Amino acid sequence: MRYHLLVVIPYVILVQGCLHHGSGRTLQRAAHIYLSTTPEDLRIVSAPALIEHLASGKGRDLVIVDTRSAPEYEAGHIPGALHIPFRAAAERDTLERLPKGRRIVIVCKSGHTASMLNAIYNMMGYEAVTLKDGMKGWQEAGGPLVSGLRIE
């Protein structure tokens, strides 16, 4: 229930703001489609499930996007994760880097920021999920970390 509210509340506010300005019919429709098609798992993946998936060698079907600050990312991130700061996540150059045919796993500190971006990306046609409990959950589950900046 907690994640459901974290995803829904910002978008209700966003949709209402756009409707107030008269430009929100498309956004309202996208929000409706997103909310009405959200599966019971609320587009969330647990750290143990992601660790298992990556360890099985099937990780090529995923793109892991880390939305934390550069210093946080550099201090330790999931191997192979792209660093895309939250504020740059919807810029045209950023979106062009994201493959539409692969699931995007969005990572932040705790899962909150990733849940917001999850909703936005899904409304834009990407298949995105949030890493439950973010890097906190990843570390508690014993997920591997690498440090340094990944250049793309």
Domain harbouring 86, CATH code: 3.40.250.10
The verdict on whether 18 is a catalytic residue reads no
Q: Which domain holds residue 99?
A: 41-140
Q: Is the CB of residue 132 less than 8 Å from the CB of residue 117? A: no
Residue 28 placed within a domain? no
User: What distance, in Å, lies between the first and last C-alpha atoms of the chain?
Assistant: 36
Residue 151 placed within a domain? no
Residue 10 placed within a domain? no
DSSP string, 46-72: -HHHHHHHHHTT-GGGEEEEE-S-HHH
Q: How many domains does the chain have?
A: 1
Residue 75 placed within a domain? yes
Kind plus residue range of the DSSP H or E element containing 44: strand 44-45
Residue 70 placed within a domain? yes
Q: Is the CB of residue 44 less than 8 Å from the CB of residue 132? A: yes
Residue 28's nearest CA partner among 42, 9, 38, 14 is 14
Per-residue pLDDT tens over the stretch 32-89: 776 777 666 667 899 999 999 999 988 888 999 999 999 999 999 999 999 999 999 9
Residue 55 identity: A
**Encoding tokens for residue 82?**
């792209």
Residue 146 placed within a domain? no
DSSP secondary structure letter of residue 147? -
Which residue among the candidates 89, 108, 120, 129 is catalytic per the annotation? Answer: 108
Residue 130 placed within a domain? yes
Per-residue pLDDT tens over the stretch 75-123: 999 999 999 999 999 999 999 988 878 999 999 999 999 999 998 998 8
3-class DSSP assignment, residue 41: coil
Kind plus residue range of the DSSP H or E element containing 152: none
Residue 116 placed within a domain? yes
**Is 3's pLDDT higher than 60?**
no
Question: Taking the model in full, what pTM does it have?
Answer: 0.76
